Homo-oligomer: A and B are copies of this chain.
Amino acid sequence: MKKECIAMLLAGGQGSRLYALTSKVAKPAVPFGGKYRIIDFPLSNCVNSGIDTVGVLTQYQPLELSNYIGIGQPWDLDRTVGGVHILPPYVKEGSKGTWYKGTANAIYQNMGFISLYDPDYVLILSGDHIYKMDYSALLARHKQAGAACTISVLEVPMEEASRFGIMNVNEDDIVYEFEEKPKQPKSNLASMGIYIFTWSKLREYLIADEENPASSNDFGGDVIPAMLNAGEIMAAYRFSGYWKDVGTIVSFWDANMDILSVHSGVQLYDKSWPIYCRTPTLPPHVIGQTGTLSHSLVSGGCEVCGKVENSVLFHSVSVGEGAKIRYSILMPGTVVEKDAIVEYAILAENTHIGQGARVGAAPCNVPPEDWGVAVLGSGVCIADHQVVPPKAMLESTEEEGHI
């Protein structure tokens, strides 16, 4: 069954710069913003843009992500034809399977999947950005430009441009040059890692790229430059709006805090572009007599009897009497016992903070060189009255059951 445009979502990244948060789950499956996981943003964008066929390329810890996506009901992607499909690198006949070599190789290995839908266009997305975007506008730009590839770009402050892949364009916003992290940027149009390709062209370049032993099989590093060199039309599409890479602990923490300042982060309450997610069936949350909250997000199944400020509470979090939570992110199932204090910290799923324990600290109370967001990996237990310093990064040492 033919589809005009399908999306391939590169969700294979291990996200090693998120350390303890990604030691047990792939980056796209990391919880974000009170109810979501990072992958909900590109997935919901697809659905809202009218793209109903999405391949999710995953390799690191695929079971959790695969279990989260399921058959796609929460995003209305449980479709008869199309829908969402998890694509781990599988072992082919007579060969040993290998992980995807690079982003382009990941797509190359799944050309069989793409051909099932005989698409005119393929949208390439990544699973590590928080943003709302109408991909149908990107597709319209691609068609209008008659391009082989269209790249979504964001205007960044000129002084930060050297941290990005920069697109140099002519007056029609047609790309004539691509520079990866240029020292002397010629423009401030940063690639967002969102590409739309005419499938017949991409197919051709992927096959050529795979045959080139010198290639690292990456879109940014190999395929895009090859297309530019060959003189293919490559258009830029200017995106404006909130867009945040959540690849580091600090940017991840920032992006969560952005939501709390209602007008600066991604607009979750805007009904015209909903972000969908899979949540467990839970009752409403309860605020006890001694609970106080300010500037915070609270989700289903929480019980709050302590003080919560500038924090994001995912579902089923429990905050005991006298406990204080400030500038922190508490992922599902976290329990903070009586009188514990959690400040500037990220607590992954099912962490347990004992009575009177202390995690993290405010920047004003420690020397700048010692300060940083404290991160507890999933399942970490902090004993009563134990102190976890700022910038700490703890992982559960507990051996998980055999498989």
Tell me the A residues contacting B by CB distance below 8 Å.
59-63, 67, 70-73, 78-80, 83, 88-91, 93, 96-99, 111-113, 115-116, 207, 402-403
**Cα distance A61–B91 in the bound complex, in angstroms:** 10
Q: How far is the CA of A59 from the CA of B207 in the complex (A)?
A: 24
Query: B97 to A71, Cβ gap below 8 A?
Result: no
The 8 closest A-B pairs by CB, nearest first: A97-B97, A71-B71, A88-B90, A96-B96, A111-B403, A91-B97, A89-B91, A112-B403
Please state if B403 and A67 are interface contacts (CB–CB under 8 Å): no
CA distance A252 to B60 in the complex (A): 41
Partner among B63, B78, B83, B89 whose Cβ is within 8 Å of the Cβ of A97: B89
For A116, list chain B residues within 8 Å (CB): 63, 67
Residue among A61, A79, A96, A111 with max Cβ neighbours from chain B (10 Å) = A96
Complex interface: chain B residues within 8 A of A96 (CB): 96-98
**CA of A60 to CA of B95, assembled, Å:** 11
Shortest distance from the beta carbon of A237 to any chain B beta carbon, whole Å:
29
Question: By the criterion CB–CB under 8 Å, are B403 and A59 in contact?
Answer: no
CB distance from A396 to the nearest CB of B (A): 18
* Minimum CB–CB distance for A345 against chain B, Å: 27
The answer to whether A403 and B63 touch across the interface, beta carbons within 8 angstroms, is no
A93 proximity list for chain B (CB < 8 A): 60-61
Residues A73 and B80 in contact, CB atoms below 8 Å apart: yes
Q: Would B71 and A90 count as touching, CB distance under 8 A?
A: no
With a cutoff of 8 Å between Cβ atoms, the chain B residues found around residue A112 in the complex are: 63, 403
CB distance from A189 to the nearest CB of B (A): 34
Q: Report Cα–Cα, A194/B324, bound state, in Å.
A: 57
Contact in complex: B90, A62 (CB < 8 Å): yes
Given contacts A89-B91, A115-B403, 6 further A-B contacts (CB under 8 A): A63-B113, A71-B83, A89-B97, A97-B97, A111-B402, A112-B403
Bound-state CA distance A72–B73 (Å) is 13
How distant is the Cα of A96 from the Cα of B90 in the complex, in angstroms? 10
- Which residue from chain B places its CB closest to the CB of A58 in the assembled complex? B90
Q: Is the CB of B115 within 8 A of A59?
A: no
Set B59, B70, B115: member contacting A91, Cβ < 8 A: B59
Min CB–CB distance A19 → chain B (angstroms): 16
Shortest Cβ distance from residue A118 to the other chain B in the assembled complex, whole angstroms = 12
Q: How far is the CA of A89 from the CA of B93 in the complex (A)?
A: 11
Q: Please name all residues of chain B whose beta carbon is closer than 8 Å to the beta carbon of A67 when the two chains form the complex.
A: 116
A45 CB, nearest partner CB in chain B, Å: 21
- Residues from chain B with Cβ under 8 Å of A83 in the complex: 70-71
Contacts of A207 in B (CB 8 A): 402
**Chain B residues positioned under 8 Å from A403 (CB to CB):** 111-112, 115
Q: Which residues of B contact A90 (CB under 8 A)?
A: 62, 88-91, 97
Q: Which residue of B lies closest to A100 (CB)?
A: B91
The interface residues of chain B lying within 8 Å CB-to-CB of A89 are 90-91, 97
Instruction: Give the nearest-CB partner of A71 in chain B.
Output: B71
Cβ distance A109 to chain B, nearest Cβ, rounded Å:
9
15 inter-chain pairs at a CB distance below 8 angstroms, sorted by A residue, are A60-B93, A61-B93, A62-B90, A70-B80, A71-B71, A71-B72, A71-B78, A78-B78, A88-B88, A88-B91, A89-B90, A90-B97, A91-B98, A96-B97, A96-B98
- The chain B residue sitting closest to A74, CB to CB, is B80
A89-B97 Cα distance, complex, nearest whole Å: 9
Complex Cα–Cα for A98 and B73 (A): 32
Complex Cα–Cα for A71 and B90 (A): 19
Closest CB in chain B relative to A91 CB, distance in Å? 4
Closest beta carbon of chain B to A119's beta carbon, Å: 14
Contacts of A97 in B (CB 8 A): 89-91, 96-98
